[in-house]
Amino acid sequence: MSGSDLVVDLGSTRLAWRGPGGAGSALHGGDPGGVLRRALGGRSPPRSVVLGSVADSGTTANLHRGCAETWGVPVRDLTAAREALGVRNGYRAPARLGIDRWAAAVAAHAGYGGSVLVADCGTAVTVDYVDAHGLHHGGAIGAGLMLSRDALTAGTRLRLDRGDAAVPPGSLGTDTETSVAVGTLAAVAGMLELIRRDVEAAFRAPATLLITGGDAAAVRGRLPPDWLEVPGLVLDGLELLAGVTP
């Protein structure tokens, strides 16, 4: 893929990329430029970098510096528009819709058509609905698994000995760590199913149900089988919005 574009989805805690040398994702720790340099610095340079960022300004600037120092190529920042590729933005101020949500909505509409409900499970869990005519009706934002866990432990002074425990479907926790994992998974899955119910009742039509993001696999295990896991949906949308070609 020498000479192709590098597409980057930069979130609050993680980044994902696709381009020369392949694809990947990682926690960035506030240094996404360094993460990309270590992952891709010795490979064929991209001809440009396409960035969709919902991170803070300092973290976004870090990525810009890293790309300039590593490859000396321009970084193109994408933001949500009023309309793109047949999708009309439902926000009163279109640019305030997160670019990750906009990209996922555009990719879902392009790839699946009809009515689509898109859940992106990362630091935050976002849900967006696009009808069969391409109108984005808005969405919802809730806390993701790790954010929920951190808020719970900080607010109650719980002491956990390890990270999120594995939770087989239908199980309950017999220790604090597993109980927290069960509760946070149930909260996210329950949120998605409640929004799904409300959307289908309000619009009187079933929707194609898509789930993506770093925690998609974990949450998908607690959802009915008609939810489809689609890895890399935000990157797909960024490529479409930027007109990226291999």
Task: Note the pLDDT tens digit of each residue in 184-209.
Answer: 999 999 999 999 999 999 999 899 99
| 133 is a domain residue | yes
Active site annotation includes 100 = yes
Backbone angles phi, psi at 157, to 5 degrees: 60, 30
30: Cβ contacts below 8 Å, ≥ 6 apart = 58, 59, 62
* Contact in structure between 8 and 120 (CB atoms under 8 Å): no
Average pLDDT over every residue of 119-147 = 95
Task: Note the pLDDT tens digit of each residue in 64-93.
Answer: 999 999 999 989 999 999 999 999 999 999
Q: Is 240 inside a domain boundary?
A: no
Q: Looking at the structure, do residues 134 and 213 belong to the same domain, yes or no?
A: yes
Q: What is the pLDDT of residue 2?
A: 42
What's the mean pLDDT in 83-108?
Answer: 97
Does residue 129 surpass a pLDDT of 70? yes
- Window from 2-6, 56-60, 107-111, 127-131 with minimum mean pLDDT: 2-6
More confident residue, 148 or 57: 57
Domain span at residue 178 reads 83-234
pTM for the structure as a whole: 0.91
Domain boundary residue among 29, 55, 77? 77
Helix (H) or strand (E) holding 58: helix 57-70
First to last CA, the chain: 7
22: CATH: 3.30.420.40
Q: What is the pLDDT of residue 194?
A: 97
Q: Provide the pLDDT for residue 179.
A: 85
Regarding whether 145 and 42 lie in a shared domain, the answer is no
SS3 assignment, position 244: coil
What pLDDT, on a 0 to 100 scale, did the predictor assign at position 192? 98
> How would residue 1 be classed by pLDDT, with cut points 50, 70 and 90?
very low
Among residues 9, 100, 215, 236, the one annotated as catalytic is 100
Cα(217)–Cα(84) distance, integer angstroms: 29
What are phi and psi for residue 189, nearest 5 degrees? -60, -40
Which amino acid is it at 19?
Answer: G
Helix and strand numbers (H, E) in the chain are 7, 12
Instruction: Kindly indicate the confidence band of residue 160, based on its pLDDT and cuts at 50, 70 and 90.
Output: low
As for how many domains the chain has, the answer is: 2
Phi, psi of 134 (to 5 degrees): 90, 10
Residue 93 sits in the same domain as residue 208: yes
Q: Is residue 142 part of a domain?
A: yes
Q: Does one domain contain both 149 and 204?
A: yes
Distance CA 143, CA 195 (A): 15
25, 91: one domain: no
pLDDT, tens digit, 9 for 90 and up, residues 164-190: 556 666 778 778 888 888 899 999 999
Judgement on whether residues 114 and 203 belong to the same structural domain of the protein: yes
Q: Is residue 242 a part of any domain in this protein?
A: no
The SS3 call for residue 87 is strand
Provide the pLDDT confidence category of residue 151 given band limits of 50, 70 and 90: confident
Is residue 115 domain-shared with residue 210, that is, in the same domain?
yes
Is residue 126 domain-shared with residue 166, that is, in the same domain? Answer: yes
Of 77, 103, 121, the domain-final residue:
77
CB contact set of 89 (below 8 Å; sequence gap of 6+): 80, 81, 82, 83, 97, 102, 136
* Domain contains 246: no
